[in-house]
Amino acid sequence: MSLRVSPWRALAPWLISLLVLLVIPMLVSGNGTFSIINLIAINIVFALSYNMLLGQGGMLSFGHAVFFGLGAYGAIHGMNLIGDAGYDGQGFWAHFPVYLLPLVGFATGALAALLVGWPFCRRAGTAFAMITLGLGELVAAGSQMFPTVFGGEAGVFSNRMVGPVWFGLELAQPADVYWFSAFWVLLAVFAMWAFTRTPLGRLSNAVRDNAERLQFIGYPPRNLRFLVFIAAGGFAGLGGGMAAVNYEIVTPESLGLLTSGLALLMAAVGGLGVFYGPIVGAILVTVMNSLLSDYTDASILYVGLVFLAVVMFAPSGLGGGIEQVRQAWRRGDLAAHLPGWLGGALAVVLIALGLVGTIELVYQLSHGRDKLAQVLGLQPDPSSPLVWLGVVALFAAGFGVARASKNYREARS
């Protein structure tokens, strides 16, 4: 957006997010909530670094967790070095504070991407997806073999209350770690946003849109993809470094296909085409993964269904939806569009409730107990037709509203 914005307007998003980060600890208490917020911060950096590849650079990767995991291992080994150096107090590591470990993560991730990336970046598309899938599986399997580096199944653990202390911030409780995560998430998000404004950032968009034309304006696409690959690997490593400090343990799972899948999930649900899309995706998916399983046994099924719904009905993701509303608000015709959109949202809620009802009832039938019902204190009896009628009613209402709002929207445009 190179349109002439007054400097204040350009700074507004960053000031607001700084304000939000400062206010959160006042509104929230309890280490459990803080540890989820720290996880959200880590996932935001991880999802954004993934979108540097996919959303910005058009490169679909299935091995992004490799750089996240290697960054985490780099940082945890750094933490152990700091701990050991603490005894005699000499050497580089004795003066290296734990807070800067994400930089070690960044360096490890970027270095790994540098070593591996060149043959990968020959082509984007399916070839890139497959070769990163191969890399992901290789490194995940390899991580079981080198105990000194990866610590085998049990992983490598350490203690973050070592090394020099700055600003009196001892990383004891998740509440303290919050400040560490808040600092790094703001810095990383700003850095990744700034990257999109640099010439390399613009050209990475160009390589996404039309790699062939790029050659004819003097740039081999492979070089650009390689540089973007290294930068994305670095920021993934930074996220890994944050995770190492937050959990004080790094296990091979952080390298595996499931973690790469998580990055894809967050970026896609959040919206690939919008810079802040993956941030929205990271928050939603992290909350669903951590909290939902407290309330229902079918939490993984719900994550899958949300993902399917977004891919089918909102291909530009939640971020895309927000962007649509923002554009309409800026154009001033928000009021005209609102009923159509609200109608659509209502339809989604109704159908979702119907679906949740069906799944929980089936759970009641097949597993003989249902957590969600217990938590809500309702005792739906799966055999009584009344309950199923209610579910059918929800579906009917949902589809009705959906059609109505669709007609309304078509009438508008």
Partner 1 sequence: MLEIIVFSTLNGLLYGLLLFMLSSGLTLIFSMMGVLNFAHASFYMLGAYFAYALGLHVGFWPALLLSPLLVAGLGAVVERFGLRRVHEHGHVAELLFTFGLAYVIDETVHLLWGSIPVSYTAPEYLRAPLFSLFGTDYSIYRGVTMMIAVLMFVALWYLLRKTRVGMMIRAALTHGAMVGHLGHNVPRLFMGVFAFGCALAALAGVIGGPLLSTEPGMAQALGPVVFVVVVVGGMGSLLGAFYASLLIGLVQTFFVALDVSIGDLLNAVGFGVDPYGEVTGITLASIAPMTPFILLVLILIFRPRGLMGELEP
Partner 2 sequence: MLKAVFKLFAVSLCLLSGLARAAEAEPVRFALIDPLTGPMSVVGQPALAQLQFTAERLNKEGGMDGHPIEIVGYDNKINPQESLVQLQKAIDDGIRYIIQGNGSSVGSALLSAINKHNQRNPDDRVLYLNYAAIEPSFTNERCSFWHFRFDAHVDMKMNMLTDWIAENPDFKKVFLINQDYSFGHTVSESAMRMLKEKRPDIEIVGNTFHPLGKVKDFSPYISKIKSSGADVVITGNWGQDINLLIKSAAEYGVDVPFLTYYGSTPGTITQVGDKGVDRVYLIAEYHGDFTDPEIAERQVALYKEKGWDYYPRVAAMLEMMKAAGDKAGSIEPLAVAKTLEGLEYDAAAGHLTMRAEDHQLQMPLYLSVLKDNMKHGAEGTDYNFHQIARFDADQATLPTTCRMRRPD
Partner 3 sequence: MSHALVIDDLKKSFGPAEVIRGVNLRVEKGEVHAVIGPNGAGKSTFFNLVSGAFAPTSGEVRLHGQRIDGLAPEKIQQRGLARSFQVSNVFGNLSVFENLRCACFKQSAAGYTFWRPAGSVKRANRRAEEVLAMIGLAELRDSPAGALPYASQRALEIGMTIAGEADVVLLDEPTAGMSNTETTQAIELIRQVAEGRTLMIVEHDMGVVFELADRISVLVYGEIIATGTPEAIRNDPRVKEAYLGEEAA
DSSP 8-state symbol, 54? I
Instruction: Tell me the CA distances in angstroms from 365 to 189, 276, 315, one per residue in order.
Output: 46, 41, 34
Residue 271 CB neighbours (<10 A): 27
Span near partner 3 by CB under 8 A; candidates 18-26, 107-115, 158-166, 202-210: 202-210
327 near partner 3, rule: CB under 8 A: no
Choices 80-88, 124-132, 150-158, 225-233 (CB under 8 A): range interacting with partner 2: 150-158
Residue 268 binds partner 1 (CB under 8 A)? yes
Residue 198 interacts with, from partner 3, partner 2, partner 1, none (CB under 5-8 Å by kind) = partner 3
Contact 400, 357 (CB under 8 A): no
Question: Can you tell me which residue has the tokens 């569009």?
Answer: 337
Q: Does 194 bind partner 3 (CB under 8 A)?
A: yes
Q: Of residues 188, 227, 359, 391, which one binds partner 3 by CB under 8 A?
A: 227
Phi, psi of 330 (to 5 degrees): -70, -35
Cβ distance to partner 2 smaller for residue 153 or 381: 153
Contact track, partner 2, 160-199, x by CB under 8 A: -x----------xxx-------------------------
247 DSSP 8-state letter = H
Q: Which of residues 287-346 bind partner 2 (CB under 8 A)?
A: 287, 290-291, 293-295, 297-300
Residue 358 interface partner, choices partner 2, partner 1, partner 3, none, CB cut-off 5-8 Å depending on type: none
- Residue 254 binding partner per list partner 3, partner 2, partner 1, none, with a CB distance cut-off of 5 to 8 Å that depends on partner kind: partner 2
Which listed option, partner 2, partner 1, partner 3, none, makes contact with residue 138 (CB within 5 to 8 Å by class)?
Answer: partner 1
Number of Cβ within 10 Å of residue 97's Cβ equals 14
- Is 190 among the residues that bind partner 3 (CB under 8 A)? no
Is the Cβ of residue 19 or residue 308 nearer to partner 1 in the bound state? 308
Cα angle 309, 272, 194; round to 5: 150
Residues 6 or more apart whose Cβ sits within 8 Å of residue 42: 181, 185, 239, 242, 243, 246
| CB closer to partner 1, 165 vs 311 | 311
Q: Where do we find the tokens 């409780």?
A: 173
Number of residues interacting with partner 3: please give it, by CB under 8 A. Answer: 30
Residues 120-150 as b or e (16 or more Cβ within 10 Å = b): bbeebeeebbebbbebbbebbeebeeeeeeb
Q: Does residue 93 interact with partner 3 by CB under 8 A?
A: no
Nearer to partner 3, 199 or 332 (CB): 199
CB closer to partner 2, 78 vs 151: 151
Gap between the Cα atoms of 285 and 198, Å rounded: 30
Dist CA 156 CA 80 (whole Å):
9
Q: Which is nearer to partner 3, 123 or 406 (CB)?
A: 123
CB of 130 to partner 3, least distance (A): 25
| 410 in contact with partner 1 (CB under 8 A) | no
Which of these segments, 181-189, 229-237, 241-249, 303-311, binds partner 1 (CB under 8 A)? Answer: 303-311
Does position 198 bind partner 3 by CB under 8 A? yes
Alpha helices (runs of H) in 52-100, residue ranges in sequence order: 64-88
Residues 6+ positions from 344 with CB-CB distance below 8 Å: 402, 405, 406, 409
Q: Tell me how far, at minimum, the Cβ of 219 lies from partner 3, in Å.
A: 5
